[in-house]
Structure 1
């Protein structure tokens, strides 16, 4: 069969700081499940929630973490925002409250324990 290639989900590898257990706990608080850990002490972990998969890599480079950002598409963004608000909302970026952007995306941003910025988004229509 001659099928065209189709790209699927991406799995970013992001800096998780020096304390991997702290990073893993943060993402588990966001509803992710740890599906793999490597090393003793842990130097890499894979976390997953629904179709979103992230590789956490032990890395103390604060500058790298603060310049790392990516986006995750969500169905039900308002419910996800409420879920994070119900946990106190401290992970939500100070300038990243839920809002509709001029480009037609409803989105909000969080900052993880190392400074990585993740934007969750849902198309308006």
Structure 2
């Protein structure tokens, strides 16, 4: 039986990734070990893991993760209040497939889509 999923996304800089996710998105570091080339972050009930890829070209990165939330309007507003950049094609809107969504790109061009069923 499957119980959860923890996506692994590439990062060029552990410090930059930590700053964005912790200071910007409100995540916290998870786990007791501090590996130079690996990072585990969590917020509420989700975890995202990151692996170091120093030679990553962000323009060629297609890392993506879809994150479900039960408070999409509040989350969207909190990110706007922090002046975080929303993807130009990812403003908060109801999609034809019945999800209210918005999207962001992290510093390594990983696409984060937040969604809630309507």
TM-score between the two structures when normalised by the length of structure 2:
0.90
- Gap runs ≥5 in structure 1: none
Instruction: Encode CA deviations 1:17-44: one digit per residue, 9 max, x unaligned.
Output: 1x211111100020100113533xx211
d(CA) in 1 for partners of 2:96, 2:103:
16
- How far 1:66 sits from its partner (Å)? 2.1
* 8 Å Cα contact 1:72-1:119 kept in structure 2: yes
Q: Which of 84, 90, 95 is the matching residue for 1:96?
A: 90
Structure 2 residue aligned with 1:116: 110
**How many residues are paired up?**
115
Which structure has the greater CA radius of gyration?
A: 1
Q: 1:87 to 1:59 in 2, by over 3 A?
A: same
Residue 38 of structure 1 pairs with residue 34 of structure 2: yes
d(CA) in 1 for partners of 2:28, 2:60:
21
Q: SS of 2:73's equivalent?
A: helix
Deviates more, 1:108-117 or 1:59-68: 59-68
- Gap runs ≥5 in structure 2: none
Structure 1 stretches (4+) deviating beyond 6 angstroms? Answer: none
Match runs of 1:36-115 below 5 Å: 36=31, 38-39=34-35, 42-60=36-54, 61-62=56-57, 66-90=61-85, 92-115=86-109
- How far 1:62 sits from its partner (Å)? 2.0
Q: SS of 1:38's equivalent?
A: coil
